[in-house]
């Protein structure tokens, strides 16, 4: 999403596109639409000649093991986690996942333009056809030069329900909340513990990386020389 124009593009349920955000950007730039899904998105990828890979290219031993574990756990309990779906394989015993696999990016350029992008494989052991929050503008991703750029990770259904990315932008616009407070309030007062994490950058350059899970792999850099990488639970 381009915070200067509120232009946005997204793709969902693609299985052979190596870099989904590149295709999403083409949806934004070359079509009058915002979201293409499934076969239509793959057909658009054919037309745009973006890089394609066999679906098995995305397989990793770690993710396969997590999927098999989640499937076995579901078969054993005969159910999901009570919220109607199974979380990722990495549950922490309290019924929710410690780490999700989404990759998000937010940035502010020297002209004051904000942008956000989010890419994910979704939740482990999700139901066929399920679309999470990442490609839903206003839920998992949002950018507006007037406020902030936001990218989310976590239980997508919760982020859609609470329109999380837009809510953070709206809190800045209407409540004049500082970005760190807006992010914290959404994570702790709107969402449930363990629902996920949020990265955001404000129009003034404030960087926020916050989460209610056991940890979140994250990194930040700015023009003043800040360089930061953190994994796990040590808060920035």
* Between 140 and 194, CB nearer to ligand ASP: 140
In whole angstroms, the minimum distance from the beta carbon of 135 to ligand ASP comes to 9
Identify which of residues 44 and 100 has a Cβ nearer to ligand ASP in the complex. Answer: 100
- Give 124 or 169: the residue with its C-beta nearer to ligand ASP: 124
Q: What is the DSSP string of the chain?
A: -BTTTTB--EEES-SSBS-HHHHHHHHHHHSS-SEEEHHHHHHHHHHHT--B--GGGG--HHHHHHHHHHHHHHHHHTS-SSSSS---S-B-SSSSBS----EEEEEE-TTS-EEEEEE---STTPPTT---STTSBTTTEEE-TTSEEEEEEE-HHHHHHTTHHHHHHHIIIII---HHHHHHHIIIIISPTTSEEEEEEETT--EEEEESSS---EEEE-TT--EEEE-SS---
Contact set for ligand ASP, span 74-113 (CB under 6 A): 100-102
Instruction: Work out which of 9, 20, 117, 154 binds ligand ASP, going by CB under 6 A.
Output: 154
Stretch in the footprint of ligand ASP (CB under 6 A) among 62-70, 131-139, 168-176, 181-189: 131-139
**Among all residues, which ones are annotated catalytic?**
102
Select the residue interacting with ligand ASP from 156, 199, 210, 212 (CB under 6 A): 156
Determine if 120 is a binding residue for ligand ASP (CB under 6 A). Answer: yes
Instruction: Tell me whether residue 45 or residue 199 sits nearer to ligand ASP (CB atom).
Output: 199
Per CB under 6 A, does 213 bind ligand ASP?
no
Which window, 17-25, 44-52, 153-161, 203-211, contacts ligand ASP (CB under 6 A)? 153-161
Residues engaged in binding ligand ASP (CB under 6 A): 100-102, 120, 122-123, 132-134, 140, 153-156
């Amino acid at each position: 999403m381009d915070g200067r124009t509120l232009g946005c593009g997204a793709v969902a349920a693609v299985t052979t596109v190596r870099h989904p955000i590149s295709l999403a950007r083409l949806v934004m730039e070359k079509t009058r639409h915002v979201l293409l899904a499934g076969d239509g998105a793959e057909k658009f990828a054919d037309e745009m000649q973006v890089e394609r890979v066999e679906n098995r290219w995305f397989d990793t031993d770690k993710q396969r093991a997590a999927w098999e574990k989640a499937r076995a756990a579901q078969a054993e309990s005969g159910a999901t986690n009570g919220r109607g779906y199974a979380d990722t394989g990495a549950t922490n015993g309290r019924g929710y996942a410690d780490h999700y696999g989404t990759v998000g990016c937010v940035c502010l350029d020297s002209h004051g333009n904000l942008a956000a992008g989010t890419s994910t494989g979704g939740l482990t052991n999700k139901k066929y056809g399920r679309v999470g929050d990442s490609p839903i503008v206003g839920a998992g991703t949002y950018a507006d030069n007037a406020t902030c750029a936001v990218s989310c990770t976590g239980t997508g259904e919760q982020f859609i329900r609470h329109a999380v990315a837009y809510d953070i932008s709206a809190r800045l616009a209407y409540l004049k909340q500082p970005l760190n407070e807006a992010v914290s309030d959404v994570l702790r007062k709107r969402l449930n513990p363990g629902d996920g994490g949020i990265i955001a950058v404000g129009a003034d350059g404030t960087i926020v990386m916050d989460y209610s899970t056991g940890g979140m792999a994250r990194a930040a850099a700015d023009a003043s020389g800040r360089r930061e990488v953190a994994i796990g639970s040590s808060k920035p």
